[in-house]
Amino acid sequence: MTSPVYAVTAAVLNSRKYQAIAPELVEAIAAAELGKGRSPKEAVKATKNQLHQSAAVYQSGRMEYPRWLADLQDAWPDGAARQPLLRRLLTAHTSTSERLPFLDDFYNRIFALLPPIRSVLDIACGLNPLALPWMPLVADASYLAVDIFSDQIAFLNDFFRLAGVSGRGETRNVLTDCPTEPVDLALILKTIPCLEQIEKEAGAKLLGQIQAHHLVVSFPSRTLGGRRKGMESTYAAHFAELTEGWDATITRLDFANEMVFVVERGDGSEGGSVSAG
């Protein structure tokens, strides 16, 4: 007999919009919704809504990965054509699209606070790896990109090969399967609020598992509709709670619609400082 959790999970994954999402995440949300006493039909709707609000809403329309890869293959031999095309592709995900007006300044200011970076972990990466040409990494730096969309990860692995990057993408639910290999830098860009929609303690859990000496953690300072609604003060206070007691130097950088914290972890002793960059 098919279990209710399996039936709800299968129904959600049978939808074109959600078919590429990591099944273990869908199953976990389905189980949680059924655990609230919902009927299977109600749980399917609630699971889809949760996946939409925390992930799918940020994809700006149909993700045409085969066509994008073909465009990249055509443009890549011409160095001058690469960045304009990458900018166009970055508009397909809201998180990176919002960053385009200040993309150069964004990574210049962040990396000015960092030592040479030889390894990167990009959590819930979206299309952010396409911004690699804007990141002043050490030559042959390794780049691990993780997200819940398997088709997106396949596209990014094709991009890494095309660009000659020592990178790999992995489909993961970081709530239960967070990478723990040591890296120089972890990018956690506008990710914590999304994860905390699914699991309240996700931010603290994630930050406790990642093995990186430096972290770049950001939060949106405006809604998707462009309103502020006190988001800066709310998220600044929340991040202060998440890092309370850390031995770390934390520098805050503010951009038009994004608040960034550049974190340098210490040796594990108590204390730390926060400054504005």
| Averaged pLDDT for residues 210-228 | 83
pLDDT of 121 reads: 98
Closest Cα partner for 262 from 108, 130, 118?
Answer: 108
| Averaged pLDDT for residues 35-52 | 95
Q: Give the CATH number of the domain where residue 42 resides.
A: 1.10.8.10
Which residues does residue 262 pair with via DSSP β-bridges, in sequence order?
216, 251
Q: Does 143 lie in the same domain as 49?
A: no
Q: Does 75 lie in the same domain as 197?
A: yes
Within a domain: 157 = yes
Residue 273 has pLDDT above 60, yes or no: no
Q: Does 266 lie in the same domain as 232?
A: yes
Q: Does 221 lie in the same domain as 124?
A: yes
What Rg, from alpha-carbon coordinates, does the chain have? 19
Range of the domain at 8: 4-54
Q: Does 254 lie in the same domain as 176?
A: yes
Number of domains composing the chain: 2
List the beta strands (DSSP E) in the chain: 119-123, 142-147, 166-171, 183-189, 212-220, 248-254, 258-265, 272-276
Instruction: Tell me the percentage of the chain whose pLDDT exceeds 70.
Output: 93
| Averaged pLDDT for residues 256-266 | 95
CA dihedral (263, 268, 269, 271) in degrees, to 10, reads: 20
Closest Cα partner for 58 from 191, 160, 179?
Answer: 191
Residue 163 has pLDDT above 90, yes or no: yes
Within a domain: 210 = yes
Q: Does 195 lie in the same domain as 109?
A: yes
CA distance 52 to 50: 5
pTM: 0.92
Residue 276 has pLDDT above 70, yes or no: no
Work out the mean pLDDT of the chain and round it to a whole number.
Answer: 92
Q: Does 169 lie in the same domain as 87?
A: yes
